[in-house]
């Protein structure tokens, strides 16, 4: 097995171009002498049709957009590698998982689901987490999400789900938002979505960064070993920086201040050398345990609690290179859960089965040709030889007269590979059944794991879910939809339903108002069966809570601190903090009343990175007010107060030392400050090492959500 240590080897295989020190040419390679003027009959006369340079340029421009993805249109991606740390040859024969240290190039794309390509990164939404592995045995795509379950159990409901969540068809509103009638109308009639709704209303749906999200393969897949034996598997990506979110109010403000927030964050982290990293883990479920659990492994609305089956880490992914061209790479990349290599196979999850059809089909209209695999970013590094021919934009020049198999004129080539030669053979699963349009009885529990998820959250996380539901349902005009939703929520937790009900002025109905059609046709005897609640055998799972998540390790790497400055600032206070942050791979940026230089107490100058006009506290992780400011002026500056107020409200760390502590007394939240708020790091002394260390330690806890208790009584 060859080791793909770096991207350069892949670059050689694909046609990258760079215009540096090159002549400007037409698409036909003819050098252009004047790119500024069209060909005219006289300098003030009409343009001439014969101007092939103008026609070519404008024609290309007229056609430079392609349809955006039906879902997951908004996304950002990067190159990197996957490295095996703990090979699992006993479970899978997949070559890229065989040897410790083996590296495989990857491209990962993160996305929102509902919004258009130009929509905000900070919508409340599921995030796509798709990874293309360029393995020596062909392309393997792990096309997952940042939430381990899904809204629906059967592929046939996917178009309905997406029609319901997308902007309403009559007026194309609202963009990138689920808070509207059609989405909740559908959900209120689909009890199977309740587990996913709990996740989507939690802070998982408003991540701080793509680099701080978990990823999940969602469906149960199969690993196949050399002997042809199968093991069920669930895939997990665990972020090195921990799993963190922003506040909902913050998310909405970021959407206005910087809709590219996640895109920029990913890009900048890679440019700065803070390479995003995840561990890849697997939950292994032996074939013989298929029916051992109270949930069905084939039901994508269920997860396998880590308390039942722990996650075994097999490798790590590092993203270390930004794309050279967004369109050519991030936009044209085509993922497909059906792109598997020998050693990985599918389960009969009916959602996965539908996906296996959908992804090639969609590329035909999105990328316009069955030759989309020849686009550089989609090309396999394993050689491709077959009898597929022609079609729009064919790149390959196939030689010879033979394009069929079997053949004798081509000596039987290209020839089939035996299994021992790496030929893919589907898992030899025995299937003996009637053809039916039915859903398995074992899929009928819609509330058990929704309860498990809710019960596993901390109080803060529970109240965020309540607030999210109040927001979303508060935007629903149709009263009957709100009532149906409260009925469904009451099946998960009565207190949850009542708390939501208080915020939306609608009573929890005494009986479940949702007519349950269990996804089967009315003629079928199983139609209209009641959903059942199967209590989860695990009562509480820390892995489901972001705040209790056992994999969160304290770090401030790649975090951004706003350092509020004005003339007279203590130069040492700023410098010491900046240096200390840099040592931790974090960054301090100076915000001042105006751009240009801020004069220091040492008669020096510090350059402002932003003014209060161009920055906002929602774009930073913490705020530091150094000693020695023109205090009166700052305390009277509304922009400074708004900046601090947002930082406080969004439960961020605020540090102030020396005279600067007085600025906080002027802040609107001053009367609400609690003495035991560890997120406020204050010191009368100036820039001591202890103060700086306390500030850094506090930042590594991300947020001080307990503060909300004082803010919202």
Q: Of 33, 36, 37, 72, which is the active-site residue?
A: 72
Q: Between residues 107 and 704, which has the closer beta carbon with respect to ligand HDE?
A: 107
For residue 331, the minimal CB distance to ligand HDE (Å) is: 9
Site membership for ligand HDE, residue 263 (CB under 6 A): no
For residue 339, the minimal CB distance to ligand HDE (Å) is: 11
Residue found by looking up tokens 């083996």 in the block = 102
Stretch that binds ligand HDE, among 283-291, 310-318, 356-364, 370-378 (CB under 6 A): 356-364
Q: Cα(704)–Cα(708) distance, rounded to whole angstroms? A: 8
Site membership for ligand HDE, residue 347 (CB under 6 A): no
Strands 127-135 and 138-145: antiparallel
3-state secondary structure 463-475: HHHHHHHHHHHHC
Stretch that binds ligand HDE, among 67-75, 87-95, 545-553, 630-638 (CB under 6 A): 67-75
Q: Between residues 352 and 450, which has the closer beta carbon with respect to ligand HDE?
A: 352
Stretch that binds ligand HDE, among 144-152, 477-485, 573-581, 660-668 (CB under 6 A): 144-152
Eight-state DSSP code of residue 418: P
For residue 437, the minimal CB distance to ligand HDE (Å) is: 16
Question: Which strands make up the sheet holding 653-657, listed edge to edge?
Answer: 610-611, 587-592, 560-564, 622-625, 653-657, 680-683
Site membership for ligand HDE, residue 70 (CB under 6 A): yes
Site membership for ligand HDE, residue 373 (CB under 6 A): no
Q: Cα(28)–Cα(56) distance, rounded to whole angstroms? A: 10
- Token output for 61: 């421009």
Q: Between residues 218 and 246, which has the closer beta carbon with respect to ligand HDE?
A: 218
Active site residue 702: no
Q: Cα(121)–Cα(107) distance, rounded to whole angstroms? A: 19
- Token output for 669: 């939240």
Q: Of 79, 145, 371, 576, which is the active-site residue?
A: 145
Site membership for ligand HDE, residue 354 (CB under 6 A): yes
Stretch that binds ligand HDE, among 139-147, 265-273, 369-377, 534-542 (CB under 6 A): 139-147
Site membership for ligand HDE, residue 69 (CB under 6 A): yes
The answer to whether the beta carbons of residues 251 and 210 sit under 8 Å apart is no
For residue 165, the minimal CB distance to ligand HDE (Å) is: 12
Preceding omega of 63 cis (within 30 degrees of 0) = no
What are the beta bridge partners of residue 56? none
Site membership for ligand HDE, residue 298 (CB under 6 A): no
The answer to whether the beta carbons of residues 455 and 540 sit under 8 Å apart is yes
Site membership for ligand HDE, residue 158 (CB under 6 A): yes
Site membership for ligand HDE, residue 697 (CB under 6 A): no
Q: Between residues 312 and 353, which has the closer beta carbon with respect to ligand HDE?
A: 353
Active site residue 657: no
Site membership for ligand HDE, residue 369 (CB under 6 A): no
- Token output for 387: 């009898």
Q: Between residues 103 and 336, which has the closer beta carbon with respect to ligand HDE?
A: 336
Q: Cα(394)–Cα(391) distance, rounded to whole angstroms? A: 6
Site membership for ligand HDE, residue 456 (CB under 6 A): no
For residue 199, the minimal CB distance to ligand HDE (Å) is: 12
The answer to whether the beta carbons of residues 251 and 376 sit under 8 Å apart is no
Q: Which of 224, 75, 43, 241 is nearest to 143 (CA)?
A: 75
Residue found by looking up tokens 């030669």 in the block = 421
Q: Between residues 217 and 259, which has the closer beta carbon with respect to ligand HDE?
A: 217
The answer to whether the beta carbons of residues 244 and 284 sit under 8 Å apart is no
The answer to whether the beta carbons of residues 541 and 452 sit under 8 Å apart is yes
For residue 347, the minimal CB distance to ligand HDE (Å) is: 13
3-state secondary structure 520-550: CCCCCCCCCCCCECCCCCCCCCHHHCCCCCC
Q: Between residues 222 and 467, which has the closer beta carbon with respect to ligand HDE?
A: 222
DSSP readout, 81-94? EEEESS--TTT---
Site membership for ligand HDE, residue 178 (CB under 6 A): no
Q: Between residues 75 and 626, which has the closer beta carbon with respect to ligand HDE?
A: 75
Q: Between residues 358 and 517, which has the closer beta carbon with respect to ligand HDE?
A: 358
Site membership for ligand HDE, residue 266 (CB under 6 A): no
Torsions phi, psi for 435 (to 5 deg): -80, 120
- 293 contact partners, CB below 8 Å, separation of at least 6: 304, 308, 537
| Region 325-344 residues binding ligand HDE, contact defined as CB under 6 A | 334-335
Per-residue interface string for the shown chain with ligand HDE, residues 183-222, x marking contact by CB under 6 A: -----------------------------------x----
Strands 75-84 and 103-112: antiparallel
The correct pick among 282, 285, 314, 351 for binding ligand HDE (CB under 6 A) is: 351
Q: Please, what sign has the CA dihedral across residues 663, 667, 672, 677?
A: negative
The correct pick among 4, 71, 122, 562 for binding ligand HDE (CB under 6 A) is: 71
For residue 438, the minimal CB distance to ligand HDE (Å) is: 18
Total residues binding ligand HDE (CB under 6 A): 25
Q: Between residues 67 and 391, which has the closer beta carbon with respect to ligand HDE?
A: 67
What's the longest Cα–Cα distance across the chain?
91
Per-residue interface string for the shown chain with ligand HDE, residues 98-137, x marking contact by CB under 6 A: -----------x-x----------------x-x-------
Q: Cα(101)–Cα(411) distance, rounded to whole angstroms? A: 39
The correct pick among 4, 74, 75, 545 for binding ligand HDE (CB under 6 A) is: 75
The correct pick among 124, 208, 234, 355 for binding ligand HDE (CB under 6 A) is: 355
Q: Between residues 131 and 692, which has the closer beta carbon with respect to ligand HDE?
A: 131
Site membership for ligand HDE, residue 144 (CB under 6 A): yes
10 Å CB burial of residue 511 (0-12, 13-18, 19+) is exposed
Q: Cα(300)–Cα(498) distance, rounded to whole angstroms? A: 28
Strands 230-239 and 221-224: antiparallel
Active site residues: 72, 145
**Where does this chain bind ligand HDE (CB under 6 A)?**
69-72, 75, 109, 111, 128, 130, 143-145, 150, 155, 158, 218, 300, 334-335, 351, 354-355, 358-359, 362
């Amino acid at each position: 097995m060859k080791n793909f240590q770096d991207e350069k080897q892949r670059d050689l295989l694909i046609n990258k171009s760079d215009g540096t020190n090159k002549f400007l040419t037409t698409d036909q390679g003819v050098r252009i002498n004047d790119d500024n003027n069209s060909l005219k009959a006289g300098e003030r006369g009409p343009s001439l049709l014969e101007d092939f340079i103008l026609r070519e340029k404008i024609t290309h421009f007229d056609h430079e957009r392609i349809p955006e993805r039906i879902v997951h249109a908004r996304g950002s991606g990067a190159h990197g590698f996957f490295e095996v740390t703990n090979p699992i040859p006993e479970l899978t024969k997949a070559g890229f998982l065989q040897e410790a240290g083996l590296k495989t190039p990857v491209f990962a794309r993160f996305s929102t689901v509902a919004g258009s390509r130009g929509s905000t990164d900070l919508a409340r939404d599921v995030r796509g987490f798709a990874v293309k592995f360029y393995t020596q045995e062909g392309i393997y795509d792990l096309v997952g999400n940042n939430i381990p379950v899904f809204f629906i159990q059967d592929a046939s409901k996917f178009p309905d789900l997406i029609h319901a969540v997308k902007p309403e068809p009559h007026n194309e509103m609202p963009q990138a938002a689920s808070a509207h009638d059609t989405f909740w109308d559908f959900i209120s009639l689909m009890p199977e979505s309740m587990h996913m709704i709990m996740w989507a209303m939690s802070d998982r749906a408003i991540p701080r960064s793509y680099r701080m999200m978990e990823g999940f393969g969602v469906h149960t897949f199969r690993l196949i070993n050399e002997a042809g034996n199968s093991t069920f598997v669930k895939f997990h990506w665990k972020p090195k920086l921990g799993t963190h979110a922003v506040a909902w109010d913050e998310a909405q403000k970021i959407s206005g201040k910087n809709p590219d927030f996640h895109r920029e964050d990913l890009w900048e982290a890679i440019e700065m050398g803070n390479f995003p990293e995840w561990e890849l883990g697997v939950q292994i479920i032996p074939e013989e345990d298929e029916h051992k659990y109270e949930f069905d492994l084939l039901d994508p609305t269920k997860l396998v609690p880590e308390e039942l089956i722990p996650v075994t880490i097999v490798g790590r992914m590092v993203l270390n290179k930004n794309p050279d061209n967004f369109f050519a790479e991030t936009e044209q990349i085509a993922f497909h859960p059906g792109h598997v290599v020998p050693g990985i196979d599918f389960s009969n999850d009916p959602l996965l089965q539908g996906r296996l059809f959908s992804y090639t089909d969609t590329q035909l209209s999105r990328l316009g040709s069955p030759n989309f695999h020849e686009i550089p970013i989609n090309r396999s590094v394993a050689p491709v030889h077959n009898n597929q021919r022609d079609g729009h934009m064919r790149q390959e020049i196939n030689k010879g007269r033979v394009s069929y198999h079997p053949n004798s004129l081509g000596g039987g080539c290209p020839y089939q590979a035996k299994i021992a030669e790496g030929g893919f053979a589907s898992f030899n699963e025995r299937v003996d059944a009637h053809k039916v349009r039915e859903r398995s009885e074992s899929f009928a529990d819609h509330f058990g794991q929704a309860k498990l998820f809710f019960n596993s959250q901390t109080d803060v996380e529970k109240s965020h879910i309540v607030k999210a539901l109040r927001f979303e349902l508060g935007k629903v005009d149709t009263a009957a939809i709100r009532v149906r939703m409260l009925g469904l929520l009451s099946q998960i937790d009565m207190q949850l339903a009542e708390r939501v009900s208080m915020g939306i002025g609608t009573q929890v109905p005494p009986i479940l108002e949702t007519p349950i059609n269990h996804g089967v046709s009315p003629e079928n005897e199983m139609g209209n069966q009641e959903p059942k609640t199967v209590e989860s055998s695990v009562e509480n799972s820390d892995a489901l809570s972001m705040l209790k998540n056992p994999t969160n390790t304290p770090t401030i790497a790649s975090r951004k601190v706003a350092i509020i400055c004005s003339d007279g600032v203590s130069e040492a206070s700023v410098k010491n903090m900046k240096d200390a942050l840099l040592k931790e791979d974090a960054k301090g940026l100076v915000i001042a009343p105006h751009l240009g230089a801020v004069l220091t107490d040492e008669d020096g100058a510090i350059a402002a990175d932003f003014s209060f006009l161009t920055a906002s506290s929602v774009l930073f992780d913490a705020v530091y007010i150094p000693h020695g400011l023109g205090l009166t002026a700052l305390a009277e500056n509304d922009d400074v107060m708004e900046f601090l107020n947002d930082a406080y409200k969004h439960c961020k760390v605020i540090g102030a030392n020396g005279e600067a502590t007085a600025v906080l007394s002027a802040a609107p939240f001053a009367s609400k400050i609690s003495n035991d708020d560890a997120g406020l790091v204050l010191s009368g002394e100036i820039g001591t090492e202890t103060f700086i260390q306390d500030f850094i330690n506090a930042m590594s806890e991300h947020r001080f959500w307990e503060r909300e208790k004082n803010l919202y009584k």
